[in-house]
Structure 1
């Protein structure tokens, strides 16, 4: 039996998982294709079915396969990524008549839509107040929470905070924002155009709530992007957290080196 890097005997389940992974990478088991049944795999590897089950669990935790109740185990199919990019707010796309997310969906031949979870005037915590230069002693910010869908797939959970002084009395308080360019169209009409962005990006495993809302398969992490919009004076006027399924989203930045 092969040994691991510490000289210990490698469990049979890990050897099976590694062999299956190589078969997937080589195309023996194609994307979207069904793996042999646990019974057939047990016979193929001369192993107990619970050993094969452990091997499949390892591949599932790595996001390589997915199990469908009553149907079997399938190789996860790579889907075209939606790109969160540095130019998504550029005026050059205005002639398309779409908000940044809907435009990105259109590029992929997908239909985008939004599910509103909440719209609330609130008191910011200390970090949020500092980032947007607001008072933490008053309800000085509007929070909008949405799920963004591309066709039938939930791809982002989006939480946006906007100073109440900008949001008050505008379409930002409505579920369906009444502007073809979304919230940024309304903010531009208030004199705040995105001139610079600051995005802070981390990767992590999703919370149980995020798994539920985004229908995240086992083993798939999320990209956590904290985005700040800055106007011509360099002042922050919008803060948005994008929690993105990593199997369906990517980042694309093109910026000068300063």
Structure 2
């Protein structure tokens, strides 16, 4: 049994892009024109467009139409990206992912009340003040991830640079390590789901694009949790890789 017609159309448009008959920034024909080209109803073309938008291949610009968006997926390779040898050498975790690609980070650092689940993980009372580091990462002008870290205030007192928007070489884990509170073990849980309206807006996601929600707990050698990091990734922008021994 062959592919549905709308998938054949999506594959044909994708081939036009891969073979450079269409290049980044080109405007696609209208849905009506594509329907005439392929001899199908406009609804069938709309389904093909939805697939390409969800894959990050094309983007809709309000009132202007559909455009080709070329973007190489970010390879998020674990556990090397979180290894002590990486950040202790003064390198950024995000540098491991982006490998020299142009990256912009918006950071807001402030104190806020810890939500119940996060408070429990950090060993502080629910509603207690913690430091939050909210970041939004853009690569090559495309927003790909948001992340918010929650850190107990006594950890911040021991490693004050953690409260800076730029905590220095190796990031906040290196500053925690200098204070004797460096992470020794990480646990990440991943869920693939549809975004909330706020997440979709923050990441500028095309309709129908799922996100990968990752929650990371950073523990010291004494099993104390010194950070909870809640990340939301544009699933069409990332490839997740995990390397481990049998």
TM range (shorter): 0.7 to 0.9
Residues 198 and 95 of structure 1: CA distance in aligned 2, closer, same or farther (over 3 Å): closer
Residues 87 and 237 of structure 1: CA distance in aligned 2, closer, same or farther (over 3 Å): same
Q: What is the CA deviation profile of residues 41-71 of structure 1, one whole-angstrom value per residue up to 9, with x for unaligned ones?
A: 3333445xxx31x234323433254334566
* TM score, norm. by length of structure 2: 0.81
Runs (4+) of structure 1 exceeding 6 A deviation are none
User: Gaps (5+ residues) in structure 1?
Assistant: 3-13
The residue that corresponds to 2:235 in the other structure is: 246
The residue that corresponds to 1:132 in the other structure is: 122
The residue that corresponds to 2:143 in the other structure is: 154
Does residue 180 (structure 1) correspond to residue 169 (structure 2)? The answer is yes
**Partners of 2:35 and 2:45 within 8 A in 1:** no
**Partners of 1:144 and 1:161 within 8 A in 2:** yes
**Partners of 1:78 and 1:247 within 8 A in 2:** no
Q: 1:200 deviation in Å?
A: 0.4
Q: CA RMSD in A?
A: 2.9
Does residue 120 (structure 1) correspond to residue 105 (structure 2)? The answer is no
The residue that corresponds to 1:7 in the other structure is: none
Residues 182 and 94 of structure 1: CA distance in aligned 2, closer, same or farther (over 3 Å): closer
Query: What is the total number of aligned residue pairs between the two structures?
Result: 235
Structure-to-structure mapping, 1:163-242, within 5 angstroms: 163-168=152-157, 170-177=160-167, 179-242=168-231
The residue that corresponds to 2:82 in the other structure is: 89
Residues 207 and 181 of structure 1: CA distance in aligned 2, closer, same or farther (over 3 Å): same
Distance 2:181 2:148 in 1: 19
Which structure's CA Rg is the greater one? Answer: 1
* TM score, norm. by length of structure 1: 0.77
Structure-to-structure mapping, 1:34-49, within 5 angstroms: 35-47=28-40
User: Gaps (5+ residues) in structure 2?
Assistant: none
The residue that corresponds to 1:5 in the other structure is: none
- Between 1:218-227 and 1:93-102, the stretch displaced more is 93-102
